Structure 1
Amino acid sequence: MSLYAELHRHLGGSVVPRILWRYFQRNRPDLTQPFADYAAFEQFYTQPRKTLAEYLELHTLVESVQTQEALPYFIYRLLRGAYVFENLAYLELRYTPYLRTPDYLPQTERIDRMTEIVEIVGRASQQSEYPIMARQILCMHSRLPYEVNRAIVELAAQYPDYVCAVDMAGGDAQYGERLEEFVQLYGYARELGLNTTGHLYETPQGCYPELLPYLMRIGHGIQIPLQYPHLLPEIAARGQCLEVCPTTYLKTGTLDSLQQLRPVFDRCFDAGVDIAICTDNAGLHNVRLPFEYETLLTYDIIGFDELQRCQEVAFRHAFAWPHDHQPRSLLTGLLQEQDSVEIGVGH
């Protein structure tokens, strides 16, 4: 049995269509009214979008119902599916806590409420029934004010048992006019001892080398090998890892074909740059992590040796994985011990 690590999954896009539809039926029937039936909703929810900006609008649909009261419901089902269907041993779940607070409150009260959100998600993620090690990545947001983003960084530092890193989400096209501000925020995060990742070099509009030195991992980063391969040696020297989410690039219109990912993997492997394969928005895409693996193999983008390398890389770059090895090594040791015991009993 293989066990996997998922390093890039959004809480807002992690809810599979069937779970979301049932929640709407029971709690928000008004949200089902635009759709004739479940099939119509699923088609709307999972269809490709023309741009990343259009794609991100779908997050607002889920964020609006991921309230304090509803978060345990969604997280329990998320972890159940991740354990039963994906064989996940480790999951980093990212989201913007501010966007789970009531939007009718003033900004200062919403900032204060973020603490409750982190605690609710943290407690709900500790599931003995489904033994997955789950940690939070708190996302700053490119459309939120500086004061909110700084509060998110400070909140992450206050909860080391629940939060393993900070991120920047919300669409990379927004970075340019506030780049100095975001550089400062990432610098502040590093000063506080926080791990960092960030949505960067996902699209041709999101290429900002000024942010690279502040990141320990790079969310997506596919435009580096595609358009700026001269940056790969310094990425390798820093030990940075790309979080590549194959299905996303078709859903957002960033790539026309998965075949365009072949040079991403080839150039990164040649340069010694690590890649972790991730899902990004498993529910929104209606996919599971093993499906991403199988798709890359089917399209001959990587081979089994490269796949195994990427799976190992995911555990090595996991911000909170407490072991030196991935679970396969631990299971192998347990099986060897069991064999030794059985042999001893037999004698």
Structure 2
Amino acid sequence: MALYAELHRHLGGSVVPRVLWRYFERHSSELISRFADYPEFEEFYTRPRNTLDEYLELHTLVESVQTVETLPYFIYRLLRGAYIFENLAYLELRYTPYLRTPEHLSQSQRIDKMAEIVDVVGRASKISEYPIVTSQILCMHSRLPYEVNKAIVDLAAQSRQYVCAVDIAGGDSYYRDRLKEWIELYEYALSLGINTTGHLYETTAGFYPELLPYLMRIGHGIQIPLLYPELLPDLAKRNQCLEVCPTTYLKTGTLQDIRQLKLVFDRCFNAGVDIAICTDNAGLHNVRLPFEYENLLTYDIINFEQLQACQDAAFRHAFAWPYSQRPASLLNGLLKPQSAQILAMKTN
């Protein structure tokens, strides 16, 4: 039964270790030649890293094999798992299309190829046997030039049947020197009617209050309630939602203990700031969204009522969810006539 919404999942980090290992075995065995067996590969792929930069290097391993030809293979398996094991009704996949184009091409040729990537991802995501509402978020990247990032915004505007928003990624410690560019690009995106989110305040280096007014949602944002709670009232006024990905902060060394997130949730609930619980990189973590829910409950970071509030917030802030209610409410509506009929049969 599909019930949940996932707002922050990277295409590069969404491939679970077993699927990636099988692909490498069949098509790129040289990439796993240094591993004796699958358990050794899984341990390397999913173990915690010391920093966010070290963690993000793993994305390059997957990006190198996510091409026009192979993306349908990976997306089919991603959606199959999301539907069967995670009960997802809605999924936003984010990635940088430029990084899925052939590296030997010129910059302009790679820009031209990006539209094909978006189209392939969009078509591959429409699977009748796993009916999940899907959409794409295109990520600008801190290590790409302005021309490429602007082309990504333009592509989002031209691909509205598949794309619901733009993002900025690549490590939040690298934005400062080009802050004017990012503001200009977000202003441009908003002028085109494109939804916006962005990786900010994930780490202590991600302090960019100048960018906050341009975002509808905030990717991670946990350092706001932890270190800058005075910003929370403004987030509440702007109806901004934090995309909190619990396991990520342990994998990147950002937090030492998941229980540190209790302060994040407490302060956000008290300030009226919505949180959507997400996985970020379900493959790199070897976890699924229900596990994130269960972990937060197990460590008494949130209670069941707060969990439901976060699940409701995920659908409320979803950029491309086409209904006014979340699936549980729709299902209840369908079941009411059936329940009434059963009650009538019992009383007659």
Q: Quote the offset at 1:344 in angstroms.
A: 6.6
Q: What is aligned with 1:214? A: 214
SS at match of 2:196: coil
Task: Give the whole-Å Cα distance in 2 for the aligned partners of 1:319 and 1:138.
Answer: 13
1:73 counterpart residue number = 73
What residue number does 2:192 align with? 192
Deviations 1:105-124 (A, max 9, x none): 00000000000000000000
CA–CA distance in structure 2, aligned partners of residues 98 and 191 of structure 1: 23
Within 2, Cα distance between the matches of 1:342 and 1:74? 44
Q: How far is the alpha carbon of 1:2 from its aligned partner? A: 6.2
Q: Secondary structure at the match of 2:320?
A: coil
Aligned mates of 2:230, 2:336 — CA distance in 1: 46
> Which runs of no fewer than 5 residues in structure 1 stay unpaired?
none
Pairwise CA distance, 1:211: 0.3
Match of 1:231 in 2: 231
How much has 1:161 moved relative to structure 2? 1.1
Taking the aligned partners of 1:150 and 1:87, their CA distance within structure 2 comes to 35
Q: Distance in 1 between matches of 2:339 and 2:248?
A: 43
Match of 1:7 in 2: 7
Mapped partners of 1:322, 1:45: distance in 2: 36
Distance 1:136 1:48 in 2: 27
CA separation of 1:115/1:319 partners in 2, compared to 1, >3 Å: closer, same or farther? same
Which consecutive unaligned segments of at least 5 residues does structure 2 have?
Answer: none
Give the AA of the match of 1:201: Y
Q: Please show how residues 84-163 of structure 1 align to structure 2 within 5 Å.
A: 84-163=84-163
Which secondary structure state, in structure 2, belongs to the residue aligned with residue 275 of structure 1? strand
Q: TM-score, normalised by structure 1?
A: 0.98
Give, in angstroms, the shift of residue 159 of structure 1.
1.0
Please state how far the C-alpha of 1:220 moved relative to its aligned partner: 0.1
Identity over the aligned pairs, expressed in percent? 74
CA displacement 1:94-148 (0-9 Å, x = unmatched): 0000000000100000000000000000000011010100100000000000000
Give the partner amino acid of 2:294: E
* Distance in 1, Cα, partners of 2:242 & 2:77: 28
Kindly report which structure 2 residues correspond to 1:193-342, keeping only aligned pairs within 5 A, or say none: 193-341=193-341
**Distance (Å, rounded) in 1 between the aligned partners of 2:193 and 2:49:** 37
Q: 1:319 to 1:33 in 2, by over 3 A?
A: same
Match of 1:248, SS? Answer: helix
Q: Give the number of aligned pairs.
A: 347
SS at match of 2:210: helix
Task: Report the alpha carbon displacement of residue 26 of structure 1 after superposing the two structures with TM.
Answer: 0.5
One-letter amino acid matched to 2:299: Y
Could you tell me how far 1:337 is from its partner in structure 2?
Answer: 2.3
Taking structure 2 as the reference length, what is the TM-score of the superposition? 0.98
1: distance between equivalents of 2:341 and 2:75? 39
Alignment correspondent of 1:63:
63
Moved over 2 A (4+): 337-347
Q: Deviation of residue 191 (structure 1)?
A: 0.3
RMSD value, Cα: 1.1
